[in-house]
Amino acid sequence: MLAFTIRRLLQAIGVMLVVALISFTLFRYVGDPVNQMVGLDTSLEQREALREQLGLNDPVLVQFARFVTRAAQLDFGTSYQFRQPVVDLIGRRLPATLELSLVSALLALLCGIPMGVYTGLNRDSLLSKLFLTISLIGISLPTFFIGILLIFLFSVTLQWLPSFGRGEVVDFGWWSTGLLTISGLKALILPAITLGLFQMTLIMRLVRSEMLEVIRTDYIKFARARGLSQRSIHFRHALKNTLVPVITITGLQLGSIIAFAIITETVFQWPGMGLLFLQSVQNVDIPVMAAYLMLIAFLFVVINLIVDLLYFVVDPRLRVERASH
C-alpha cells in the first residue's frame, strides 16, 4: 500500500506541474503583466525598470521555477482588477464556496443513495418510475435554469426564501460561516438544491444499476436462504458492495461540484470563488484566473488521491491482493 501511495503521489505532483505550466503561460504570455500594473503616463525606462525588478527578463525556466516556488507559498501576485493580493481575495471567498459545495454533496448523497436503493429494489413500482422521470428531467434541465425556476417559485411567488447572497455570517478567524444563523441557513437552501440536483440524479442512477446487479448474485441468495431479515440483506449486504463505484463517482463529482458552483453562484449572487473567477474572466484579471486554475487542480488531485486510498478502507479484497503481491 505504501508503494501504491507513493506512486499516486508522484502522479499527482506531475499533474500539478502540468497545470502550473498552463497557469504560468497564461500569467506570463497572455497580456503583458507590466502594462496591467502601470498607468498610461509611465515612461519606457520606468517600465523597463519594473520589468527587470519583476524578473520578467530572466530565462523562462528561471521564471517558471520562481512561479512554482511562489505558488507553493500561496503567493499568486496582485489582482489587476482589485489591486489586492490574489490569495487574500480567494481566501476570503473560499469558505462560501466550500460550504455550498459540501452541503450540496451531502444533500446529493443523503437523497440519492436511498432513492437509488429504493428504485433498484422496487423496479416496477410507481414511485420508482416517478424518481426515474425526475432524474431524467434533472439531467436535461441546465443548472442555471433550475436555479431560476427555484427563485421564481420560492422567492418571487411564495416569498419564502431569499434569492441572493449568504445571509448573516459568523466569523471564526478567517473562516466565515453561514451555517450558524437562521438567515444564513435559509439563504443556503435554494443554491444547495440547485447545485446538488444533478449529482443526486447521477448517484441515484448509479446506485440503482449497481443494486440491480448485486441483488442477483449468489451471496444475496444465500443470505435469503439463511433467513436474514430483508433490511439486513438490503442494507448490510447489498448496499455495502455497491459503494465502491459510488465513492469513486462522488469523489470525482465533488471536484465538478466546485467547478459547477460558478453557475450556481452567479444565479444566486453567492459571494464565493466561482463568482470571483467569472468576474476575473470578464475583466481579463489573469493572476486571479491562474490562481483559481491552480487551486481547482489542487482540489481535484487531492480528492482523487483520497478516493484512491478510500478504496482500501471500503474493499478489504484490495488489501489482501496488494499484500500478496
Partner 1 sequence: MSPISDNLDTERRGVVFRLRQSDMLHSFLRSKIAMLSALITLAAIIGAAFAPWLAPHDPFDLASLSILDSQLPPVGMEGADPLYLLGTDDQGRDVFSGILYGARISLAVGFVSVLLAAVVGVLLGLVAGYVGGRTDAIIMRIAEVQLTFPAILIALLIDGVARAVFGNLDRERYAFWILVLSIALSFWVQFARTVRGSTLVERNKEYVQAARLIGIPPFLIMIRHVLPNVIGPVLVIATISLGLAIITEATLSFLGVGIPPTQPSLGTLVRIGNDFLFSGEWWIAMFPGFALAILVLAVNLLGDWLRDALNPKLR
Q: Which positions touch partner 1 (CB under 8 A)?
A: 15, 18, 26, 30-31, 136-137, 139-145, 148-149, 151-152, 156, 163, 255-256, 259-260, 262-263, 266-267, 277-278, 280-282, 284, 286, 289, 293, 296-297, 300, 304
Q: Minimal CA–CA distance to 197: which of 252, 137, 282, 157?
A: 137
CA 113 – CA 207 distance, rounded (Å)? 6
CB of 295 to partner 1, least distance (A): 12
Question: Cβ closer to partner 1: 96 or 258?
Answer: 258
Question: Cβ closer to partner 1: 14 or 55?
Answer: 14
* 3-state SS class at 172: strand
DSSP code of 78?
Answer: B
CB of 79 to partner 1, least distance (A): 14
Contacts of 66 (CB under 8 A, 6+ apart): 55, 58
Question: Cβ closer to partner 1: 197 or 289?
Answer: 289
CB of 169 to partner 1, least distance (A): 24
Question: Cβ closer to partner 1: 77 or 255?
Answer: 255
CB of 71 to partner 1, least distance (A): 17
Ranges of beta strands (E only) in the chain are 170-172, 175-177
CA 297 – CA 12 distance, rounded (Å)? 10
Please state, as a whole number, how many other Cβ atoms lie within 10 Å of the Cβ of residue 279.
Answer: 15
Question: Cβ closer to partner 1: 233 or 287?
Answer: 287
CB of 254 to partner 1, least distance (A): 12
Instruction: For 204-250, give the DSSP string.
Output: HHHHHHHHHHHTTSHHHHHHHHTT--HHIIIIIIIHHHHHHHHHHHH
CB of 250 to partner 1, least distance (A): 15
Question: Cβ closer to partner 1: 128 or 266?
Answer: 266
